[in-house]
Each structure stands twice: as C-alpha cells, then as structure tokens.
Amino acid sequence: MLTNYFSLPVRVYYQDTDAGGVVYHSTYLNFMERARYEWLRELGFNANTLVAASNVLFMIRSVEIEYFKPAVLDDLLAITVAVQEVGRSRITLFQEVLCSHIKLVNATIHVVCVDAEKLKPMSIPASLREKIGKPA
C-alpha cells in the first residue's frame, strides 16, 4: 500500500533533452531526486537540517526503473513520490513521471538512512518516521 503521496510539477526544458527534443533517460532520475527533496521539504525537513539536527544523510541503495513513453521539450510533467515501505533504516519509495495523467516512467527507489560521518546505516529519526507514517 502506498502512503504519503506527493506530486511536483516539472517543465521539460531544452537542457533536459537530446537534439530531437526527447528527454534523456538519466534526466528522469534528476526529476525524481528533485521531487524527493521537495517531498521532504513539504514534510518540514531538508538535507541541511537533517544533517545538523540528526547527523543523517539519505543515500540511494538501488533503483528499479521502467520507461514506457518519452517526455519531450516543453511537456509539463508531474513527478510523484509515495511511500511503499518503511524499515528501521530504509525507506522504499514508488515514483512516477506522468504527462497529462499518462504514465511515462515509474521507479522503485530504495533509500537508506546513514550516519553523516561514518556513512553506516542508522535508524530513521523518530521525527521523520512520524511524518512519513508507516504503510500498512
């Protein structure tokens, strides 16, 4: 079950595309990263405060991505974030890239909470875990 749904509008700019105006495959990962960052901000957190207050960073452990249709120059996309699973130190997120409600790309992102100095897994801070909620 997915919880804590968030959507970020993103316009496709020339820098996001190849000479034919089609979005580069790796650019979708950038869009998803931006949406995850804004999702955290909406929850009341950002990278600087998480490091300062809790000494934590979030690192990508793995990405499973599927491409269905290409986005093109000037498309207005919706980049979504939804919590799929929460573990002690791991969050599994499901993300989609939509254009006019048509699915272009989806991905399952496994994120690990790590100590900012040692870069070793650690428990997700209670304040963040409370805001994320635990999917059923």
**Whole-angstrom Cα distance, residue 89 to residue 117?**
16
E-only strand ranges, 12-132:
56-67, 76-86, 90-99, 102-115
**CB 79 within 8 Å of CB 30:** no
* CA neighbours closer than 13 Å in the CB half-sphere of residue 129: 15
**Whole-angstrom Cα distance, residue 116 to residue 98?**
33
Told to judge if 75 belongs to the known catalytic residues of this protein, a careful annotator would answer no
Catalytic residue from among 16, 18, 74, 115: 18
**Annotated catalytic sites, by residue?**
18
